[in-house]
Amino acid sequence: MSITWNDSVPIYRQLRERVVAMILDGALNEGDPLPSVRQVAADFQINPLTVSKAYQELVDDQLVEKRRGLGMFVTDGAREALLKSERERFLREEWPALYARLQRLGLDLKTLMHEASQDSENQS
């Protein structure tokens, strides 16, 4: 597998973000095992220490737990905890700017919701 890394963020952080995204998307469910450090290192051609560091951060954030001799697993409640922190982050960091932009464009809630329901109809 080939992947391009962003030079302005350390790789272990980018790896951590990928795992977080996989948990949020449901690609990794609670109780699912994470691929082994060795496997990830080989697949992405990165140093095992980099992978360990990313996993350790996930352990520190209690999103992942180490089971002795078995490897790393997504903890119960990881998705909920992530959703909570992601929602908070969205409201704190993204929503003010987005709200300001909606105001500038004069888009109201009714128009936006109408647009959204049409989109989901087109998709189904």
Partner 1 sequence: MNAVITANGLSKRYKNAVALDNVNFEIQPGRIVGLIGPNGAGKTTALKAILGLTDFQGRLDVLGMDPRSQRDKLMEQVCFIADVAVLPRWIRVREAIDFVANIHPRFNRAKCEAFLARTKLTAHQRVREMSKGMIVQLHLALVMAIDAKLLVLDEPTLGLDILYRRQFYQSLLEEYFDDNKTIIVTTHQVEEIEHILTDLMFIQDGKIVLNTDMEAMGDRFAEVMVNADKAPVARQLNPLDERQVFGKSIFLFDGVDQHRLAELGEVRRPSVSDLFVATMKGTYA
Q: Give the footprint of partner 1 on this chain (CB under 8 A).
A: 5, 7-8, 10-11, 38-39, 41-50
CB of 51 to partner 1, least distance (A): 10
Q: In the complex with partner 1, which residue's Cβ is closer, 24 or 42?
A: 42
CB of 97 to partner 1, least distance (A): 20
Burial 25-63 (b: 16+ CB within 10 A, else e): eeebeeeeebeebeebbeebebeeebbebbbebbeeeeb
Pairing label, strands 71-74, 64-67: antiparallel
CB of 2 to partner 1, least distance (A): 8
